[in-house]
Every structure is written in C-alpha cells, then in structure tokens.
Structure 1
C-alpha cells in the first residue's frame, strides 16, 4: 500500500463515507466463488473487513495506530480469472490551518474521515514550515511547506487554495486538496482526498491476502504493504 503516511502530515475530516448495506447472500462475481475473500484480515498495521455487496466486494480498513495511518474504504471486484481482488482505495478529510505571524510556518487541527458509521473522526495536530523565505503578500499560503516526510504545495488565488501533498521518498503518490481562506488571510479550511488502485491475491492455502505491487523498493521507502492473515 503506497499511500502517504500521517506520521508527518496530520490531516482533518468532517465527511463520512457511508458503506451501502451489504448483501447477506454470497454469490459468484465474474463466475468466481467469493467465499475465500470474505472475512476479517489482519497484519501488524491494519484490520480489513471484506463483505459482498451485489457484484462488488467492499473492504473497511482500520489502522491499529491511527496517528501513523488512516482509515480507508476498498471498493472492487474479482478478476475474470478469479485470482485477483481489484480495488480502489479511498480516504478523505478536512484541514483547518492557521499561518504564523512571520508567515514561515502553519499549525492546525484535523481529523480523518470514518469509513462507516461506527466511529468518530480521528483528530490530529498539524505543523509545517515554509521551504524558503519568499512570500506573496496577496496570497500568503502560496508556496512549498515541509512536514517530515511530506512536501505540501499550496497555490492560493484570492480566497481559494488548491494543491497537493507529496510523499517525499516517492512523490508519485499524492493527496489532492482545496479550500477557502478566511477574510484576514490567516486561516484556511480545506478538504483533502486520496485515491489509489490496489490489487490483492490470495495465498495458495487461502489464508493470506497479499498486495501484488509492493516489494522491497516500496518497503525501503517506508511504505506500508499489505500482507494480511485471515482471522
């Protein structure tokens, strides 16, 4: 799993992703039996609960350490040959930030959206420093901000801020956001979203759920890879 970790970039949330009602009856998807995929899976970092909803398999991902990673929703189906669980992983949330008087740092609070209705959003504290000393007096938030393993690029145009957060070891993995600046320009409230395609296979004995595209390079970069055991 190659998504950006929260260890250095703390995020916020108000939205809820509501999972539709899951079907009690388990049926085939693309001609393949889904029974082996359904259930609760765990590793040292997460629990993923997978259920069938019509022609889809829905997974709820919960981290054991919410201060280091975030909850996510998996939506996907089984490949035509029945060997791969093809999913889209999604997370979302909000941030509420305040810039310092010298315009060289910001701080704030945030939460990570719950992906079901059983828990409240998780709350974080956010801190980052400006990379460089140049500021735009009309667009105070514009620029690059650094927070441990993340580079955050703000582009302010009047009262609107857009941008991305990049995971520094591998900047191909990004988080998108947009927000609105307060009247005095010192605060910004924004929403963020993250989306990634992730595929899983089962071990030969059906007891392990393994991410297909996470190897030694990804592990060396500090990315969390799924290798889960059926509970």
Structure 2
C-alpha cells in the first residue's frame, strides 16, 4: 500500500463515497480521530450515517475540555448510536506535572505548554494509533498557511501511518452547508466565534480580522502554535 494506491481509492469529490470506498478497499486498521470540531462532525456523519463498522473512531479526552464539547460528545453518541473510544492521559504523568508546575503553568512558558500537550494529547495519540495503517483527520488547507501545503494523502513519518485528509480542500462554507443539509450536531461554541476548539484554558473566540488559529494558545507567537499531533 502506498499513497498512489490510496489516492486512486479516494479520487471522487464525494466525501461519503470516498469514506465508503476506503472502508471497503482496505483490510488494514483504519482510525478516525475526532475532537468534536465542526470538520470532525462532518466526517463522523459520513462514517456513521452509512453504518461503516471497520473504521475505529476515537477521541483524546485531555481532562480540560469545554463543557460544551462533552455535551456534544453525548449528543453525537445518542443521535448516531455510535461508539467513540476515549483515550486519556497517564494519571501519574499528569499528577507529577501539576504538582511540579501548577495547574495552569502552560501560560508561563512555551516549554511547559508543549509538555502539557505532550502528556495530555501526544502520548494518548500514540496509543490510539497503535497498529493503524490509515489515520483519517479533519485538517483543512484553509485553517493555516502550513496546512495549505498538505496533500489529501500524507505519510506521517512521526507516527508511521498514512494520514487521509478528506476535507483538505473544503472551505468553511462547504463545511457549514454539509452540517446544515444533513442536520449534523455541532459544538455551539462555533456560533460564538470559536473556530478551532481545543482545551478550555487554551482556546478563545477569535476577533474580527483574526485567522483560524489565533484563538488557540493566543498568548504565544504564531510560529510556536503546535501541540505535536500534527507536525504541519
């Protein structure tokens, strides 16, 4: 299996068709990671509305998510009668980090913020991707300049997995239209100018004129805004 082989499977412009073809064509483990953002809800609908069983859906519960995110998690499970596997941080690592640095120490330095992201997100992600050959994500080119250079199929050297970005060339309008057309539940924070929703202490609504990622780790320089899940 290589990138060209996968591209031939997902060459349609139809998301639902591509997801169905991928699931029918690949015997290896396929996983989809959701953070319950609006893009992820689109992909979730494409999987579960078609009752696809061989794509494992998981989420990383950092322990610091918004109440609105947990509410959407519950609503999504009920609406689709779905299964979402949660992955949690290592208890001892979190306890040591908070004891040594404080509960909100990520505000004090980039290094401590990245350490918090590593414990709460990257380490659980490594467990979630164990044995997976394809990782489906909700990345879009419109989200940042770095993501604008991605391909629909990427080889992730760090996690040793093919990354499939089915919404890469979708616009925000495309996403919202799909949500409305299919009555897909979404995080109500999106209606309050939260465009990229992560941990509550590290996410705010964006202001007029700001870009997609300005609401994440807003106290840091733009060039340092990554958590290790996606190296782009």
TM-score, scaled relative to structure 1 = 0.24
Counting helix residues as a fraction of each chain, which structure ranks higher?
2
Q: Which has the larger radius of gyration?
A: 1
TM-score, scaled relative to structure 2 = 0.24
Counting strand residues as a fraction of each chain, which structure ranks higher?
1
